[in-house]
Chain A
Amino acid sequence: MSGTKRETGFTFTIDGVEITAYAGQTIMEAADEAGVYIPRLCDHEGLRHQGSCRVCTVKAGGRSVAACTQPAAPGQAVENETPRLTKMRRDLVEMLFHEGNHLCPICEASGNCELQAMAYRLDMTEATRFPYLEPCRALDASHPDIALDTNRCISCGRCIRASQDVDGKGIFGYVGRGIHRRVAVNGENLADTDAEVTDHAISAEVCPVGCIIRKRVGFTVPIGEREFDHGLIGHDIEEKRK
Chain B
Amino acid sequence: MDNGHKTGNGVSTAICGTAPVPAEEIEAICAQFGNDKHRMLDILREVQDHYRCIAPATMDHVAASTGLTRIEVEGVASFYSFLSLAPKGRVTIRLCNDIVDRFSGVSEVACVFEEELGLKIGETSNDGAFSLEYTPCIGMCDQAPAAMVNDIVLTKLTPETARSAAQALKAGRSPEQLISERFEALTPSERALHMVDNNIRHAGEVLLGPVPEDAGLAKAATITPTQIISAIEESGLRGCGGAGFTTGRKWRFAASERAEKHFVICNADEGEPGTFKDRVLLTERPHLLIEGMTIAARAVGAREGILYLRGEYVYLRELLLQVLEERRRRGLLGKDILGVKGFDFDIRLQLGAGAYICGEEGALISSCEGLPGEPKTRPPFPVNRGYLGYPTVVNNVETFCHAARILDKGAAWFNAMGMEGSHGTKLFSVCGDCLNPGIYELPYGHTVRELLAMVGGEDAAAVQVGGPSGTMIARDSFHRKLTFDDLATGGAIIVFNGERNVLEIVEYYMSFFVHESCGYCTPCRVGNVFLQKAIQKFRKGLANPEDIDYLKDLSGTIIETSRCGLGMTSPNPVLTTLKNFPLVYSAVIKPSKDGIRDTFDIQSAIDGARKIAKRRSYIFDKDFTQ
* B69 x A170 contact (CB < 8 A): yes
Partner of B517 from the list A96, A99, A155, A178 (CB cut-off 8 Å) is: A178
* A91 x B554 contact (CB < 8 A): yes
Contacts of B58 in A (CB 8 A): none
Cα–Cα, bound, A53→B529 (Å): 16
Total A residues in contact with B, Cβ cutoff 8 Å: 41
In the complex, B526 has a CB within 8 A of chain A: yes
- Contact residues, B1-18 vs A (CB, 8 A): 3, 5
Question: Can you name the residue of chain A whose Cβ is closest to the Cβ of B547?
Answer: A129
Contact with A along B18-47 (1 / 0, CB 8 A): 000000000000000000000000000000
Contacts of A173 in B (CB 8 A): 69, 71-72, 74-75
* A131 x B530 contact (CB < 8 A): yes
Contacts of A176 in B (CB 8 A): 78-79, 519
Closest chain B CB from A218 CB (angstroms): 27
Closest chain A CB from B141 CB (angstroms): 23
In the complex, B527 has a CB within 8 A of chain A: yes
Known: A91-B557, A92-B561, A99-B526. A177 touches B519 (CB 8 A): yes
Cα–Cα, bound, A88→B554 (Å): 9
In the complex, B70 has a CB within 8 A of chain A: yes
* A178 x B516 contact (CB < 8 A): yes
Closest chain B CB from A223 CB (angstroms): 27
Partner of A88 from the list B56, B78, B557 (CB cut-off 8 Å) is: B557
Partner of B72 from the list A129, A133, A155, A170 (CB cut-off 8 Å) is: A170
Partner of B75 from the list A64, A66, A174, A187 (CB cut-off 8 Å) is: A174
* A186 x B71 contact (CB < 8 A): yes
- Among A55, A98, A175, the most chain B Cβ lie within 10 Å of the Cβ of A175
Known: A57-B560, A69-B377, A129-B550. A175 touches B522 (CB 8 A): no
Contact with B along A30-73 (1 / 0, CB 8 A): 00000000000000000001011111010000001010010100
Closest chain A CB from B52 CB (angstroms): 20
- Contact residues, A65-112 vs B (CB, 8 A): 66, 69, 71, 87-88, 91-92, 95-96, 98-99
Known: A92-B557, A178-B515, A187-B70. A52 touches B526 (CB 8 A): no
In the complex, B525 has a CB within 8 A of chain A: yes
Interface of B is mostly: helix
Total B residues in contact with A, Cβ cutoff 8 Å: 41
Known: A173-B74, A186-B69. A179 touches B79 (CB 8 A): no
Question: Can you name the residue of chain A whose Cβ is closest to the Cβ of B60?
Answer: A187
* B379 x A131 contact (CB < 8 A): no
Contact with A along B335-359 (1 / 0, CB 8 A): 0000000000000000000010100
Question: Can you name the residue of chain A whose Cβ is closest to the Cβ of B550?
Answer: A129
Cα–Cα, bound, A131→B542 (Å): 14
* B72 x A95 contact (CB < 8 A): no
Known: A172-B71, A184-B71. A64 touches B529 (CB 8 A): no
* B523 x A130 contact (CB < 8 A): no
- Contact residues, A179-217 vs B (CB, 8 A): 179-181, 184-188
Cα–Cα, bound, A171→B75 (Å): 13
Closest chain A CB from B41 CB (angstroms): 14
Cα–Cα, bound, A133→B522 (Å): 14
Cα–Cα, bound, A133→B529 (Å): 9
Question: Can you name the residue of chain B whose Cβ is closest to the Cβ of A49?
Answer: B377
Closest chain A CB from B375 CB (angstroms): 10
In the complex, B533 has a CB within 8 A of chain A: yes
Contacts of A92 in B (CB 8 A): 522-523, 557, 561
Question: Can you name the residue of chain B whose Cβ is closest to the Cβ of A87?
Answer: B557
Cα–Cα, bound, A179→B372 (Å): 15
Contacts of A96 in B (CB 8 A): 522, 526
Closest chain A CB from B360 CB (angstroms): 13
Partner of B372 from the list A53, A71, A177, A188 (CB cut-off 8 Å) is: A177
Closest chain B CB from A232 CB (angstroms): 21
Cα–Cα, bound, A64→B523 (Å): 13
Contacts of B554 in A (CB 8 A): 91
Question: Can you name the residue of chain A whose Cβ is closest to the Cβ of B533?
Answer: A131
In the complex, B413 has a CB within 8 A of chain A: no
* A181 x B525 contact (CB < 8 A): yes
Closest chain B CB from A211 CB (angstroms): 16
Question: Can you name the residue of chain A whose Cβ is closest to the Cβ of B77?
Answer: A175
* A52 x B522 contact (CB < 8 A): yes
Contacts of A180 in B (CB 8 A): 519
* B71 x A178 contact (CB < 8 A): no
Known: A91-B557, A92-B561, A174-B372. A54 touches B521 (CB 8 A): yes
Cα–Cα, bound, A96→B525 (Å): 10
A residues bordering B, Cβ < 8 Å?
49, 51-55, 57, 64, 66, 69, 71, 87-88, 91-92, 95-96, 98-99, 129-131, 133, 155, 170-181, 184-188
Q: Can you give 24 A-B contacts (C-beta < 8 A)?
A: A51-B377, A53-B521, A54-B523, A54-B563, A57-B561, A64-B560, A66-B563, A88-B556, A99-B526, A170-B71, A172-B71, A173-B71, A173-B74, A173-B75, A176-B79, A177-B79, A177-B357, A178-B525, A179-B514, A179-B526, A179-B529, A186-B71, A187-B71, A188-B56
17 further A-B contacts with Cβ under 8 Å, apart from A177-B518, A184-B74, are: A52-B520, A55-B522, A91-B561, A92-B523, A96-B522, A129-B550, A131-B530, A173-B69, A173-B75, A174-B75, A174-B372, A177-B79, A177-B373, A179-B519, A181-B519, A185-B71, A186-B69
